[in-house]
Structure 1
Amino acid sequence: MSGIRMSPARGSQLTEEQRQEIFEAFSLFDMNNDGYLDYHELKVAMRALGFDLSKREVLDLIDKHDNDRRRQIKYDDFFQEMGERMLKRDPVEEIKRAFQLFDKNGDKKITVQDLREVAQELGENLTMEECHAMIDEFDMDDDGAINEEEFISICMDN
């Protein structure tokens, strides 16, 4: 994908991390490295960025940018669309989505075990004592776990 460049006008409001995230999603799912995403590649790339669109919405997005009738979207258009969507994201909703990744059993709490499992998935080898210390640090209601409100508070303070 050597011909890919990032659209400067839209991209200027994005962080470098967001720009890289868009680039990586496109690169990862451009299976044949032709600089375009077809319907299936686009749907999966968008889902990887946290956008779960219906079939109709994905097709409409392709139609919006399909000037050469390839039924695909090129990188510049993907970057523009994903950048705009990222800038419109509600940070609290993003934090809630992250909370769900930690809440392994869906009980609306991040327990020591949940934290340890996520750490292991990320290649971090935390001891139970370290996990307990992390939970204790931010557990405002002393129930031994982090609820969604506490998690939002932690993330918004940083």
Structure 2
Amino acid sequence: MDKATQYGRVFELFDGDGDGRISAKELQQCVEAIGGGLTEEEAEAAVEYLDADGDGLVGLEDFVRFVDGGEEEEKAKDLREAFKMYEMEGSGCITPKSLSKMLSRLGESRSADECQVMISRFDLNGDGVLTFDEFKVMMS
């Protein structure tokens, strides 16, 4: 069973009246059914936080984004940590020099020119360095 199907089934459990959206009351009832507890205010705040289209209800897309988001946040955090290892003294970018230095530490000696070629493959804006967004593209 794929993720979308799994999320859809869980969503249906939360969606007590079957209207394709989860209300604060439905969220509160479902959490109580599994042994948890949410006040009415907490349930309303959770729905408001998850509700992307502002209709006061959580749709399937909102639900999937929330459930799947935890994994994405962890990946982004890991990427940010990796990026910090390669960037030059907090400059916010990876330069040929900083890449060369880090590769040397890892036992992969490369000249600054070789590193420039490596960077140029993913340097989307052509400024000669890698920003975090360009690094994310490279790592995906």
| TM-score normalised by length of structure 2 | 0.48
Which gives a bigger RCO, structure 1 or 2 (Cα 8 Å, sep 6+)? Answer: 1
Larger radius of gyration: 2
| TM-score normalised by length of structure 1 | 0.43
